[in-house]
Structure 1
């Protein structure tokens, strides 16, 4: 399969945002919904979006050049981009600047093309809406979840988003529930799916691991094949903590979670991780989520 170019990736993910059927319209344009733990990023993104819309209303199309330069409309990994109703990229302060002046519709998958065109015809609104999709983070070169806020003005869609390299506790609990149910239904098939990185059990920085409580071996791991068949009580982190034994002790004591330091597969840095644990038949099933670094 031919690898997608950055331009094609950008256009496809933009289409995904605009074609998402379950757009979440904020109850007021001043307080858009934010995922817990990302309130500051959401506030910054919506402030930048409001600033861009205000600049457009004052200057018209002349504001687009300002949006596309490094400066007041680029804040870290947040930037403004604008698409018109015909699918042309009008401005971007980020990687999609390569698409400025181009109709991105021909670059889209045929299945997305009609939906994309329909989405661009939505009426203008004073509301700020939001959606989530996956996008290349130019600061680290990785494709990560991104939450975007957007507003339709004069037939143009203005948007600003922020990245979510860490999943929420709710998402971790949902994945654990799904994995536990699958193990209970068909353990052998589920173990194979986890080990081949089935997206059902591998979601951004969340993944499932499974321990056979008879052999005490790691039989499934949704991130590192190096850990398969390791004797779980001997598993240590980089600080030398016997993570495996700590988890087993917690399970024996009736606890449902353990916190320790472990590499984040998205950021590739050791971070504090809270792992949710559950015994299902003769298996230990676990899913961990990474904590937001403390700010001073």
Structure 2
């Protein structure tokens, strides 16, 4: 594969491995598995299971309990329900203000009619997930949100959650731990960085390692298929040669930081990222966080 084609594919969010290409659908499926297997994803799934069973046993009238029973609220998570005709039935959260309204044409802060999309998917497949931007009481702004849902008769039962986001402090702390691990035993550390259930992958926080001599990826916690590929060929959607700039910075100072755009593994979207990195025995070790 030529360098221009590889750069274009990476720009579009595709992941390269040795001899094969991961499609956007496959990449999205992999990230969905990772997201829903997280602690937050498991809590949301358990709450949805509980809400669905309640509606199966009590019918549409049972959805009213979502608005008044603690069984259908789990800290920041809550169950809600909407009919296939678009009428909003119940909610244990801020969306309770929509009860009684037809929400088919209701849009998020980006203009997406996500309720309509959810209902159409429920009619066609019986269950699924939608992504949209919703007001987050934690920071008073529209944030990416994921809702999983299932159809029970004429009712769509749903639970949504905000994908977790790491902080600069967490990113710097993980980089410090990763550098120590590389110094102690590089081979073992590189294997640990690739483990989705390991200590170096947490929500949208992960470690990447690049050989400074030839630019090869030696580890990438979010996209393991990048390992072995030439990082010097990688550019973000704005054309920035990410790895090239990182290596130049770290070669001069021994460490550095860089802003660029990259696919967030918890949202599946290309977002602004700020990474910290340092040199460890001829290897660039980095950790970044996605900016809000």
Give TM-score, length-normalised by structure 2.
0.49
